[in-house]
Amino acid sequence: MYRILIAGAGYVGSALAAHYRFKNQNVTALIRTENKKEALEQAGIKAIVADITRPESLEGLPQVHFAVIAVAPAPMRWDCKTATKLEVSLPAAPEKRDPEFYRKTYIEGVGNLLSRMEKNRWPYFVLYLSSTGVFKRLQGDLLGDFL
């Protein structure tokens, strides 16, 4: 049985955690809030509340064979004709959608997690999942470089 850490139990991370648990692996999910903790633990997935942007919160992470870093923002919708963001109901992984919060999460936060892993000489394998936006075409118009 392998010990697997899933850092970020959003849409993709939760699915991966469930998949590996179904395969009888020992899975730990790193989550930012208590919201999903009970559901994950009922599924046999250990949940640890920590914030990758705060290195001190990562001290109690277990040693694992494999780690998946799946911190990704929620979907963002754009109006292709006006190049304006449309409202979405899901929060982003970074709490705000601006360069400073993205830098803090994706550069500093992921760096904190990798430093913690390196300090303990684990895991054997790290998979980093990034995100891409998927945009709906509106009336056949193509989306330009509005980001």
Superfamily of structural domain 3-128: NAD(P)-binding Rossmann-like Domain (3.40.50.720)
What's the confidence (pLDDT) of residue 96?
A: 57
Confidence of residue 97 (pLDDT cuts 50, 70, 90): low
DSSP string computed for 93-114: SSSSSSHHHHIIIIIIIHHHHH
What tokens appear for 138 in the block? 């509106």
Query: What percentage of the chain exceeds 90 in pLDDT?
Result: 44
Asked whether the predicted pLDDT for residue 18 surpasses 80, the reply is yes
CA 47 and chain centroid, separation: 14
Confidence of residue 129 (pLDDT cuts 50, 70, 90): confident
* Separation CA 115–CA 113 (nearest Å): 5
* Separation CA 45–CA 91 (nearest Å): 23
Residue of higher predicted confidence among 133 and 114: 114
User: What are the boundaries of each domain within the chain?
Assistant: 3-128
Query: What percentage of the chain exceeds 70 in pLDDT?
Result: 70
What one-character DSSP code corresponds to residue 63?
P
Residue type, 59: E
pLDDT digit string, tens, across residues 24-34:
999 999 998 89
Q: Tell me how far CA of residue 125 lies from CA of 4, 120, 122, in angstroms.
A: 10, 13, 8
